[in-house]
Structure 1
Amino acid sequence: MDHFAAKMSSEEAKAFIEKLKAEGLLTEENRIVWEMIVPERLKRMYDVLNRRTRYITVLTEGVDDPHNQSAVLRTAEAFGLQDVFVVTGKAPFRPNKFVTRNADKWLNIYQKPDIATAIKDLQASGYQVFASYLGEETIPLKEMDLSKPTALLFGNEHSGISEEAIRLADGKFMIPMQGFVQSFNISVAAALSLYDVTERARKIAGERYYLTREEKKEIYEKWMMDTLNPRVRKMIEIGAIS
């Protein structure tokens, strides 16, 4: 998180803390945590939380380049996604902290053992899975139906998505291009795609686009813990501070 919200007066800070209590985000149980965080940071996290979504998510398959892994995470966080799903390829999943700029700190990242499990789990959770693909039966990105929760699937930098992913996906999409090149780098494709689908999905889904009250509480508590100094966080976790 790069900056705080504007400086609050003591009266503003007190009123804001009471607001968070009323919404169930600050409780007696987590008082030891939130009392260590300045109100401006609590406000910054609160503002971001209220724009967060699980309506749109990203699934990557076999993205081996750490730079690309990192860029996708940073892009997903920037557009307000909360969850990213990963199926590793030949290389382990090791995002570059310099590239992510700590974006992964604010995300829930789920690693799945294989693409079939990943797609089927998403579908079982109510998502339709659309794969970025240049073959047959592919629709332009802007024609994608976003009336239900949607996961965008992006594949390996060189070979794209697997045949199994193509078979299991609910649909396939492409970003129309006007030049000689046929495809974008995955980080660019993810950025262009997420800009379009998040803009449209917010309008289509309305309140369904945003997190539920329960999801907000769970995520806000995690963010508060994660924003603390690691040594302090460890002491709270083991009960050395109470």
Structure 2
Amino acid sequence: MPHGPAEVGVGPWVGPWPDGEQYDARLLAEGDRRNVVDRYRYWSMEAIVADLDSRRHGFHVAIENWQHDFNIGTIVRSANAFLAAEVHIVGNRRWNRRGAMVTDRYQHLRHHASVDELAAYVHERDIALLGIDNLPGSDHLETMTIPRSVCFLFGQEGPGLSEAAWRACDGTFSIAQFGSTRSINASAAAAIAMHAWIRTYADLSPEGDAWRG
């Protein structure tokens, strides 16, 4: 049995180079070892972002960043996978990017100093602000109607939504749990919420954009 990870990506382009402004000459010459779907092999980062921008979904994701939570990077990575319109970092500007696995380069990121600043930004654009926390009075994600234009707001791992975030939200929702633990990991909860939007509104037809490769 061979040992070690399989080689990622593709080597230098073999044969005449393809035409198109989307291609990066360095990648064509040296190979493309990035973690991107096959459709974007040898494309420049700018060309990939432009293509993603042409079909981004109508949901936003916001994360409170008061404790430099390691989950933020993972949430950004999921936001890229589900093609969020924007990711909003609330609080500290600096955040741990390791879990993002470089996907933050393809995702529009916006910083807000406070939750009130975030709320003003989304409400000016008629975007509902929904927090996720298992608080008394929270709606059930599994049975609620998710707005098409929405920003999901997530708190820090452990304390959850801050009081300021809870007050700024148009509503909160919780995810059904059946075990003994009181809560699930913040990044897991974020992925579940985003996928709920995908199942409701995204084009999942065979001819659509899902599973582009």
TM-score by length of 2: 0.71
**Could you tell me which residue of structure 2 aligns to residue 232 of structure 1?**
none
Identity %: 19
- Structure 1: 4+ residue segments shifted above 3 A: 7-11, 33-40
CA–CA separation in structure 2 for the residues paired with 1:163 and 1:46: 35
Structure 2 residue ranges without an equivalent (≥5): 1-7, 29-39
**Could you tell me which residue of structure 1 aligns to residue 31 of structure 2?**
none
Q: CA deviation at 1:140?
A: 1.3
Residue 109 in 1 paired to residue 109 in 2? yes
CA–CA separation in structure 2 for the residues paired with 1:187 and 1:46: 23
**Could you tell me which residue of structure 1 aligns to residue 37 of structure 2?**
none
**Could you tell me which residue of structure 2 aligns to residue 95 of structure 1?**
96
Q: CA deviation at 1:179?
A: 0.8
Is the Cα–Cα contact under 8 Å of residues 61 and 88 in structure 1 kept in the other structure? yes
Q: CA deviation at 1:93?
A: 2.5
Q: CA deviation at 1:3?
A: 3.9
Q: Deviation digits for residues 178-217 of structure 1, max 9, x if unmatched?
A: 011121111111122212222222159xxxxx9xxxxxxx
Is the Cα–Cα contact under 8 Å of residues 56 and 198 in structure 1 kept in the other structure? no
Residue type of the partner of 2:42?
A: R
CA–CA separation in structure 2 for the residues paired with 1:66 and 1:129: 21
Residue type of the partner of 1:96?
A: R
Describe how 1:123-142 pairs up with structure 2 within 5 A: 123-142=123-142
**Could you tell me which residue of structure 2 aligns to residue 200 of structure 1?**
200
Q: CA deviation at 1:125?
A: 1.3
Q: Deviation digits for residues 95-142 of structure 1, max 9, x if unmatched?
A: 233x22111111111110100110121111121111002122211113
More moved, 148-157 vs 35-44 = 35-44
Residue 175 in 1 paired to residue 178 in 2? no
Q: CA deviation at 1:82?
A: 4.0
CA–CA separation in structure 2 for the residues paired with 1:140 and 1:8: 53
**Could you tell me which residue of structure 1 aligns to residue 34 of structure 2?**
none
CA–CA separation in structure 1 for the residues paired with 2:67 and 2:56: 26
Secondary structure of the 2:182 match is coil
